[in-house]
Chain A
Amino acid sequence: MLRVNLLLLLVAVLCALGTVSANHRARKLVAEYEREQNRMRELDVEWGQLQLEQSTWANHTRIEQIARDKLGMRVPPPGQVVALESAK
Chain B
Amino acid sequence: MKFARSPILNQRLSPGRSRLVVLALLGSFLVLAGRSFYLQVFQTDFLQKKGESRYERVIELSATRGRILDRHGDVLAISTPVKAVWAIPEDARLSPAQLRRLAGLLEMDVRELNRKLATEKEFVFLKRQIPPDVVEKIAALSLPGIHDQREYRRYYPSGDAMAHVIGFTGVEDAGQEGVELALNDLLIGKPGSRRVIKDRRGQIVEDVESIRAPQEGKDVTLALDAKIQYLAHSQLKKAMQEHKAKAGGVVVLDAKTGEVLALANAPTYNPNNRVKLVGAQLRNRAFTDTFEPGSTFKPFTAALALEKGKYHFNTRIDTSSGRLTIGSATIHDAHKHEDLTLAEVVQKSSNVGVAKVALSFPPDEMWQMYSSLGFGAPLKLGFPGEVGGRLRPAKSWKPIEQATMSYGHGISVTLMQLARAYLAFARDGDLIPVSLTRVETPPRTGTPVFSGQTAREVRSMLEMAVQPGGTAPKAQIPGYRVAGKTGTAHKLDGGTYAAKYVASFIGFAPASDPRLVVAVMIDEPAGKQYYGGDVAAPVFAEIMSGALRTLGVPQDLPLKPLIMAEAVKEGV
Distance between Cα atoms of A48 and B203 in the complex (Å): 27
Complexed CA–CA distance, A55 and B155 (Å): 11
When distances are taken between beta carbons in the complex, the residues of chain B under 8 Å from A16 are none
Does A55 lie within 8 Å of B80, measured CB to CB?
no
For the complex, is B159 an interface residue (Cβ under 8 Å from A)?
A: yes
- Contact partners of A45 in chain B: CB under 8 A: 80-81
With A78-B478, A83-B479 already in contact, the answer to whether A56 and B561 are too (CB < 8 A) is: no
Query: CB-CB < 8 A to A78: which residues of B?
Result: 478-479, 559-562
Whether A52 pairs with B204 at a CB distance below 8 angstroms is no
Instruction: Mark out the residues of chain A between 34 and 88 whose CB falls within 8 Å of any chain B CB in the assembled complex.
Output: 34, 44-45, 48-49, 51-52, 54-56, 58-61, 64, 78-79, 81-83, 86
Chain A at the B interface: SS class: helix
Cβ of A31 within 8 Å of any chain B Cβ, yes or no, is yes
CB-based contact A60/B161 at 8 Å: yes
A83 vs B479: C-alpha distance when bound (angstroms): 9
Q: Is B79 in the interface zone, CB < 8 Å from A?
A: yes
Within 8 A of A (CB), among B178-214: 199, 203-207
Cα(A19)–Cα(B227), bound, Å: 63
Q: Which of A34, A56, A61, A86 contacts B203 (CB 8 A)?
A: A34
CB distance from A30 to the nearest CB of B (A): 6
Say whether A55 contacts B159, CB under 8 Å.
no
Contact B157 A55 (CB under 8 A): yes
Taking CB atoms, residues of chain A closer than 8 Å to B365 are none
CB distance from A64 to the nearest CB of B (A): 8
Q: List B residues 509-550 near A (Cβ within 8 Å).
A: none
| Smallest beta-carbon distance A33→chain B, Å | 8
Interface size on B, residues (CB 8 A): 33
Taking A48-B78, A55-B158 as contacts, is the C-beta distance between A27 and B205 under 8 angstroms? yes
Chain A CB count within 10 A is highest, among B159, B204, B554, for B204
Minimum CB distance partner of A38 in chain B: B204
User: For window 1-38 of chain A, which residues contact chain B by CB distance below 8 Å?
Assistant: 26-27, 30-31, 34
Cα distance, A59 to B264, chains bound together (Å) = 16
Q: Is A49 touching B80 in the complex (CB atoms < 8 A)?
A: yes
What residues of chain B lie closer than 8 Å to A51, measured between beta carbons?
Answer: 67, 75, 78
Closest to A27 in B: B205
Contact of A30 among B76, B206, B226 (CB under 8 A): B206
B112: CB under 8 A from chain A? no
A83 and B555 contact, Cβ closer than 8 Å, known pairs A52-B155, A60-B227, A60-B230: yes
Smallest CB separation, A10 vs chain B (Å): 29
Cβ contact within 8 Å between B479 and A59: no
A51 to B156, CA, bound (A): 11
Q: Is the CB of B74 closer than 8 A to any CB of chain A?
A: yes
CB-CB nearest in chain A for B79: A48
Shortest CB–CB separation between residue A45 and chain B, in angstroms? 6
- Contact mask for chain B residues 212-249; partner A; CB cutoff 8 A; 1 contact, 0 none: 00000000000000110010001000000000000000
Name the residue of chain B whose CB is nearest to the CB of A83. Answer: B555
- Distance, CA A26 to CA B205, complexed state (A): 8
Please give 8 more A-B residue pairs, beta carbons under 8 A apart, in addition to A27-B205, A52-B78.
A30-B204, A30-B207, A44-B64, A61-B161, A61-B234, A64-B234, A81-B478, A83-B559
List the interface of chain B (C-beta within 8 A of A): 64, 67, 74-76, 78-81, 155, 157-159, 161, 199, 203-207, 226-227, 230, 234, 478-479, 554-555, 558-562
Binding site for B on A (CB under 8 A): 26-27, 30-31, 34, 44-45, 48-49, 51-52, 54-56, 58-61, 64, 78-79, 81-83, 86
19 contacts between A and B (CB under 8 A): A30-B207, A31-B203, A31-B204, A48-B64, A48-B78, A48-B79, A49-B80, A51-B75, A55-B75, A60-B226, A61-B159, A61-B230, A61-B234, A78-B478, A79-B559, A81-B479, A82-B559, A83-B555, A83-B559
